[in-house]
Chains A and B, each alone.
Chain A
C-alpha cells in the first residue's frame, strides 16, 4: 500500500495553484511547534545552564578554567551556527540555521553555564549576595516584560526590531573591539570598567537593550507557533530566550558591581 494515496488516485497535479508554495505551507504534515513545547525546552536549557554553572562554581581548578574556556568557545560556535552572523552593510556572513537548534541548544547552554559559574563565583567573592540579586532581577525584568508583551502593552514593530537589532550589533561590536584592544594593550575600554555615572549610564543602556531583546524572542516564539512552524523552532525559540537571559544576567551583574563599588 502506498503512503501517498492521493498520488495513486489522482496522479501528480500540474495545477500551478496546487503546486504553489502557499499551498505547501498549509499542507505540510510534519510535527508542529507549540508554546508548551517551547516552554519545556526553555526549562531544559536553563536547567543545563544552572547545572554546568554549579559545577564550575564549586570545582574551581586550573582544569575547570580550561573546561570553561572550551565551554565558552563551543557555546559561541553553537550560537553563531544557529543564529548566523550579520554585519552592517554586508548582510548575512553566516546564514541562520534554526534546524540545528535541537543539537546546538544544549551545547550552548552547557558551555555558557561554565562561563556564568566562574563569573558569578568571582563576583560573589567580591560582593557577597550579589548573585542572588542579579538572578532575581533578571527574572523580575523577564517576567515584567513578558506580561507587557502578552497583554499588548509593548507591541514590537518592524522599526522596533531594526532599532534593537542595530543597538545590539553596536554593543557586540564595541565589546569585540574592546576585547581585541585588551589583547594588545592589556587594558579594556575604560567606559566599560568606569564606575562613575558615565559607566553606570552605559551599563543601564546595555541592560535596557538586553531586556528589549527579550520582547523580540517572545515575538519569534509566538509568531512561529501561530504559523505552525516545524518542531525544531521550539528549540530555536528556547535557545534565543536563554541566550538573551544569560546576556541580561551578566549585564545586571556588571551593573550591580558598579553600583556597589
Chain B
C-alpha cells in the first residue's frame, strides 16, 4: 500500500516541477479581475528607488 502511495507521490512531485515551468493559459492570464500583486509586494518600488537615484558616472 505504502509503495503505491510513494509512487503516486514521486509522480506528483515530477508533475509539479514539470507544470511549474509552463506559462498559465490565456484563460488565466487575460482577464480583468486578476489580483494586482505588485500592490502588496513592493518589488517595483524597490527597483524604482534604486533606479531613480542618479547613477555615478565612472567615465572620467
Judge: A and B partners, yes or no. Answer: yes
Q: Which residues of A contact B (CB under 8 A)?
A: 1-4, 7, 21, 24-25, 28, 30, 35-36, 38-39, 42-43, 95-99, 129, 132-133, 135-137, 139-140, 142-144, 146-147, 149-152, 155-158, 160-161, 216, 218-227, 229-230, 232-233, 236
Given A140-B12, A158-B33, A226-B29: 13 more A-B contacts, CB < 8 Å: A2-B59, A21-B48, A39-B17, A42-B20, A98-B43, A132-B5, A143-B16, A146-B16, A146-B19, A151-B27, A152-B27, A223-B34, A232-B43
- Tell whether, in the assembled complex, residue A143 and residue B13 are in contact, meaning their CB atoms are under 8 Å apart: yes
- Tell whether, in the assembled complex, residue B13 and residue A133 are in contact, meaning their CB atoms are under 8 Å apart: no
A-facing mask of B19-60, CB < 8 A → 1, else 0? 111111111110101111110111110111001100101110
Query: A144 — which chain B residues lie within 8 A by C-beta?
Result: 12
Contact of B59 among A1, A28, A139 (CB under 8 A): A1
Query: B47 — which chain A residues lie within 8 A by C-beta?
Result: 28, 30, 230
Contact of B28 among A7, A136, A143, A149 (CB under 8 A): A149
Closest-by-CB residue of B relative to A7 is B57
Closest-by-CB residue of A relative to B15 is A143
Q: How far is the CA of A140 from the CA of B8 in the complex (A)?
A: 7
Give the shortest distance, in Å, between A241 (CB) and chain B (any CB). 8
Q: What are 20 A-B interface contacts by the 8 Å CB criterion?
A: A3-B55, A28-B51, A30-B47, A42-B17, A132-B5, A132-B9, A136-B9, A139-B16, A143-B19, A150-B24, A150-B25, A150-B28, A151-B28, A152-B26, A220-B37, A224-B43, A225-B23, A227-B38, A227-B44, A232-B43
Contact of B25 among A135, A151, A161 (CB under 8 A): A151
- Tell whether, in the assembled complex, residue B28 and residue A152 are in contact, meaning their CB atoms are under 8 Å apart: yes
Give the shortest distance, in Å, between A199 (CB) and chain B (any CB). 23
Query: B28 — which chain A residues lie within 8 A by C-beta?
Result: 149-152, 155, 222
Q: How far is the CA of A150 from the CA of B17 in the complex (A)?
A: 13
Q: How far is the CA of A111 from the CA of B58 in the complex (A)?
A: 42
Closest-by-CB residue of A relative to B47 is A230
Query: B19 — which chain A residues lie within 8 A by C-beta?
Result: 143, 146-147, 150
- Tell whether, in the assembled complex, residue A142 and residue B23 are in contact, meaning their CB atoms are under 8 Å apart: no
Query: A230 — which chain B residues lie within 8 A by C-beta?
Result: 43, 46-47
Q: How far is the CA of A42 from the CA of B17 in the complex (A)?
A: 9
- Tell whether, in the assembled complex, residue A25 and residue B44 are in contact, meaning their CB atoms are under 8 Å apart: yes
Query: A152 — which chain B residues lie within 8 A by C-beta?
Result: 24-28
Most chain B beta-carbon neighbours within 10 Å: one of A1, A28, A98, A150 = A150
- Tell whether, in the assembled complex, residue B46 and residue A98 are in contact, meaning their CB atoms are under 8 Å apart: yes
Give the shortest distance, in Å, between A258 (CB) and chain B (any CB). 18
Contact of B17 among A43, A97, A99, A155 (CB under 8 A): A43
- Tell whether, in the assembled complex, residue A35 and residue B20 are in contact, meaning their CB atoms are under 8 Å apart: yes
Give the shortest distance, in Å, between B24 (CB) and chain A (any CB). 5
Q: How far is the CA of A223 from the CA of B28 in the complex (A)?
A: 11
